[in-house]
């Protein structure tokens, strides 16, 4: 899964049209480099980020989804927590929902049930603005698993098919380095205890800085190592920025595993 930010970047704000067309070109490049799914987001959820309005988010992601849809048949995932954005994205051609808030927004479960598309529910403690202030768990793996079992029950009751649900422990979302490492280490039991496929997003994240002291542009090697390990641990999807590098690393180790 390739990451496409449909957010204006700070260094060159060429306006809405330029931002959207750059996102589309970037997305098409990722498809050439081996991405099977593109994840398009219009609201940053990194630590410290502020929420944006529904109108703002729609304005950012819908033109990108429409333009991409007209030029490629690659599956498009919409990275959002807002039911209005989920709905509009599906209508514009998205075929998967990725919600860092685990469908906890009012109405989100019903939109997904109605759309009958695959959905990734992610675990987050707190909210992006303040989630890294003081992450705290008695047993992080058990608590994250309990969260999923509860969410899956609510979703099943609304008519969402279990085989349409992926779970994501939310690396970097209200977790210390130790919490993140434990969750990555226990992907096999997360999978077994939820009965769902697992998605992992660790690409370029700050846990690599905590571990190795690396700036964002120095995090490729560790990102690849963690993506490879996640796949060998049974993750079905890895959400990454460096598509070709991840594709090559994962395909090479899978060839050995499957020989
Ligand atoms: C993720 C994810 C996501 N991550 C899913 N969706 C982000 N399903 C956005 C840091 O510590 O892991 N899974 N959507 C990006 N969020 C972050 C969080 C980016 C933490 C950076 C950090 O650096």
Locus of tokens 């030029």: 71
pLDDT for the residue 18 = 78
User: What span, in angstroms and rounded, lies between the C-alpha atoms of 108 and 101?
Assistant: 10
* Domains parsed from the chain with CATH numbers: 2-257 (3.20.20.20)
- Specify burial of residue 110 (Cβ count, 10 A radius: 0-12, 13-18, 19+): middle
pLDDT digits (tens, 9 = 90+) for 195-224: 999 999 999 999 999 999 999 999 999 999
Q: Please state, for a pLDDT cut of 70, what percent of the chain lies above it.
A: 98
157 is known as an active-site residue:
no
Any idea which of 10-19, 89-98, 110-119, 227-236 has the lowest mean pLDDT? 10-19
7 CA distance to ligand 1 centroid (A)?
14
Q: Which residue has the tokens 């759309």?
A: 115
Give me the catalytic one of 214, 239, 244, 257: 239
Contact predicate 89/62, CB 8 Å: yes
- At 15-40, the pLDDT tens digits run 777 788 999 999 999 999 999 999 99
pLDDT at 187: 98
Query: What pLDDT, on the 0 to 100 scale, is given for residue 15?
Result: 73
Which residue, among 211, 208, 230, 207, has the nearest Cα to 219 in the 3D structure?
208
Q: Give the strand pairing for 119-122 and 165-168.
A: parallel
The answer to whether 82 is a known catalytic residue is no
> How remote is the CA of residue 196 from the centroid of ligand 1, in Å?
20
Q: Whose CA is nearest to atom 19 of ligand 1?
A: 46
Ranges of beta strands (E only) in the chain are 2-5, 38-41, 76-79, 96-99, 119-122, 165-168, 197-201, 237-239
How far apart are alpha carbons 17 and 259 in whole angstroms?
A: 47
* Percent of the residues in the chain that have a pLDDT greater than 90, as a whole number: 94
Residue 8 pLDDT class (50, 70, 90 cuts): confident
Q: SS3 for 52?
A: coil
Say if CB 1 and CB 39 are below 8 A apart.
yes
For ligand 1, whether the C-beta of 125 sits within 6 Å is no
Sign for the pseudo-dihedral over CA of 42, 47, 52, 54: positive
| Angstrom distance (rounded) from CA 114 to CA 77 | 16
């Amino acid at each position: 899964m390739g990451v496409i930010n449909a957010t204006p970047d700070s260094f060159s704000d060429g306006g809405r049209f330029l931002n959207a067309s750059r996102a589309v070109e970037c997305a098409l490049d990722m498809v050439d480099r081996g991405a099977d799914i593109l994840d398009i987001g219009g609201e940053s959820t990194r630590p410290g980020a502020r929420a944006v309005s529904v109108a703002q988010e729609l304005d950012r992601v819908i033109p990108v989804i429409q333009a991409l849809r007209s030029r490629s048949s690659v599956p498009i995932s919409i990275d959002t927590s807002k039911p209005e954005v989920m709905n509009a994205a599906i209508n514009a051609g998205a075929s998967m929902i990725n919600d860092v808030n685990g469908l906890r927004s009012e109405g989100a479960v019903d939109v997904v049930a109605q759309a009958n598309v695959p959905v990734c529910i992610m675990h987050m403690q707190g909210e992006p603005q303040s989630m890294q202030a003081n992450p705290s768990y008695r047993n992080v793996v058990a608590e994250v698993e309990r969260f999923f079992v509860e969410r899956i029950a609510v979703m099943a009751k609304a008519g969402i098919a279990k085989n349409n649900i992926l779970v994501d422990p939310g690396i970097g979302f209200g977790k210390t380095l130790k919490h993140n490492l434990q969750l990555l280490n226990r992907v096999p039991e997360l999978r077994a205890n939820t009965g769902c496929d697992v998605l992992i997003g660790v690409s370029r994240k700050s846990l690599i800085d905590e571990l190795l002291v690396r700036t964002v542009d120095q995090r490729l090697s560790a990102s690849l190592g963690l993506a490879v390990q996640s796949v060998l641990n049974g993750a079905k999807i890895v959400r990454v920025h460096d598509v070709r590098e991840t594709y090559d690393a994962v395909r090479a180790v899978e060839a050995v595993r499957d020989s």
